[in-house]
Amino acid sequence: MKYKEYNRTEVVQYAQKWALSRNPKYYNFDNVGGDCTSFVSQCILAGSKTMNYTKDIGWYYINGNNKSPSWSGVEYLYQFLVTNKGIGPQAIETTQNKIEVGDIAQVSFDGERFSHTLMIVKIENKFIMKGIQIASHTFDSLNKPISEYDFEKIRWIHIQRVGI
C-alpha cells in the first residue's frame, strides 16, 4: 500500500468556503437526519482527494442516492476511518491534546450515541475546549468554539494519512 499526505490546508479552505452554505455538487441531508457528516466528508475529500468505492463498507459519494453509509452517517464514518487499511483516509481515535486542524470531533448529546460530526478548523489552545474551533452543517457554524456545544461525550479522530 502506498500513502500520501492529508492536505489539512485544503480541508480548512473547503470548510471555510462551505460551512455557512451548501455546495450544489452534494445532496443536502438536512431534512433526512442532518448534513453534518456529509459536510465533514466533503472536507475530508478536499484534503484527501481519494474515495474508497468498496460497496457498503467504503467511503464514497456519487449522488444522494448512491453513496456509502460512511459518507453521511456519524457512526459509519467513524468506523470507516479508524478501521480503513486500504484506499482513502485512514485515522485513529486520539486524545484532545493530539488533535490537529483538519481532524474531526464527534459529540454525543445523550452520553450514549454519537450523533454530530464537526470539522476542526482552528486551534488556539488544544488543551481547553474554547480554544478549539469547528465548522459544521445541520447547525451551520464556522469558527465556533467547541465549548459552546452542550454535549455529554466527545471523541477525537485524527486523520493520519491517505491510502492510494
**Bridge-partner residues for 104, per DSSP?**
119, 157
Cell of 88: 482513502
pLDDT classification of 153: cutoffs 50, 70, 90? very high
Pairwise CA distance, residues 101 & 133, whole Å: 9
Residue 152's alpha-carbon distances to 27, 52, 86, 128, 147, in angstroms, are 30, 32, 33, 16, 12
pTM of the model: 0.98
User: Would residue 135 be called left, alpha or beta, if left means φ above 0 and alpha means ψ between -120 and 50 degrees?
Assistant: beta
- Residue 16's SS3 state is helix
Res 99: pLDDT: 98
pLDDT tens digits, residue range 7-32? 999 999 999 999 999 999 999 999 99
Maximal CA-CA distance, the chain:
41
The mean pLDDT of the chain is: 97
Q: pLDDT tens digit string along 43-91?
A: 999 999 999 999 989 999 999 999 999 999 999 999 999 999 999 999 9
